[in-house]
Amino acid sequence: MKLQQLRYALEVYRHNLNVSEAAEALYTSQPGISKQIRLLEEELGVQIFIRSGKRVVSVSQPGKAVLEISERILRDVQNIKNIGSEFTEFDCGSLTIATTHTQARYALPNIVAEFVKRYPKVHLTIKQGSPAAIAQMVSNGEADIAIITEKLDDHPELRRLHCTEWTHAVVVPHNHPLLECRNPLSIEDLASFPLITYEFAFTSGSSIARAFNKAKLEQPEIVLSAADTDVLKTYVKLGLGVGLMAKMAYHAQNDQDLQLVDAAHLFEPSPIWIAVRSDTYLRGYTYDFIEMFAPKLNREAVDRILYAPIVEDFSI
């Protein structure tokens, strides 16, 4: 049994059983991957994948157990490498951060600039996606940490480090009818206009969905959902609807043709978390990045949360 075989099997699984995409991601050939997985299955005496002709169509029951253990083995191998690198090349390596567009565009630039200045030999990668997608990236090892803007309960393997909160705002073009509404803005007034907001705004558990439910209002008309705040603002400027977004994403100079209306009183603040697998060995520069993003999360605080015996959400 070889680590390469375990890695190939996991990559096929992560690419929705598409061997061709897995081969491309691993910079190898499709026949090579198929051969190594077959050899692994022969050695184990069980099928990991169920096939129809040459196509992989599902994962067998024993295959699920093999993949779960394989993922743990490969993660531990990486942890061992990280330990070695920490003491031989403490300022070299890589750090992959998964986060939303809003955080990447508006919260991280100054922190990233300072981090790169401090650790010029560390290769930094930022991956963007929805809160659910970025949590999955950390869960399956595609990213080291995630900066998440919604609380997710379906990843018990992740520890969540509470950083801060963000509040909501409404943006509209100048002279928009919404500006004639009462001050402060009511949720009923907001619901009377078509909205442009985030893709996850009305998912179960979001602060926006809870506010409309609490007011016993039906979901308003959503003319456009976007993951990208800049896209959201672009269509607000075109007059397609009222923008509901993170207040941090409004820039007075760059958004001169939009007017900001504070909506913090309408919606509960949304938490910002850093999510990390509890079985991951963090490099020293990763601790530094976390503390740069959330100064209260020094190494001692992170370790206290990361290695606590009970899996739950923590705030410090």
pLDDT of 151 > 70? The answer is no
Say if 315 falls within a structural domain: no
Q: How far apart are CA 126 and CA 111, in angstroms?
A: 13
Say if 312 falls within a structural domain: no
* Residues 276, 127 within the same domain: yes
Say if 96 falls within a structural domain: yes
* Residues 125, 162 within the same domain: yes
Say if 316 falls within a structural domain: no
pLDDT of 310 > 70? The answer is no
Question: What mean pLDDT is predicted for residues 72-100?
Answer: 80
* Residues 174, 257 within the same domain: yes
* Residues 115, 155 within the same domain: yes
Q: How far apart are CA 21 and CA 33, in angstroms?
A: 11
* Residues 180, 192 within the same domain: yes
CATH code (residue 276): 3.40.190.10
Contacts of 91 (CB under 8 A, 6+ apart): 119, 121, 122, 285
Q: Which residue range forms the structural domain that includes residue 72?
A: 3-85
* Residues 66, 128 within the same domain: no
**Boundary-marking domain end, from 31, 65, 85:** 85
With beta carbons less than 8 A apart as the criterion, state whether 19 and 56 touch. yes
pLDDT at 315: 47
Is the full-model pTM beyond 0.85?
no
pLDDT of 313 > 90? The answer is no
**Residue 177: band (very low, low, confident or very high) from pLDDT cuts 50, 70, 90:** very high
pLDDT of 222 > 90? The answer is yes
Contacts of 248 (CB under 8 A, 6+ apart): 102, 106, 107, 166
CATH code (residue 31): 1.10.10.10
* Residues 66, 186 within the same domain: no
**Boundary-marking domain end, from 62, 85, 108:** 85
| Counted domains in the chain | 3
With beta carbons less than 8 A apart as the criterion, state whether 296 and 316 touch. yes
pLDDT at 63: 87
Higher pLDDT, 306 or 82: 306
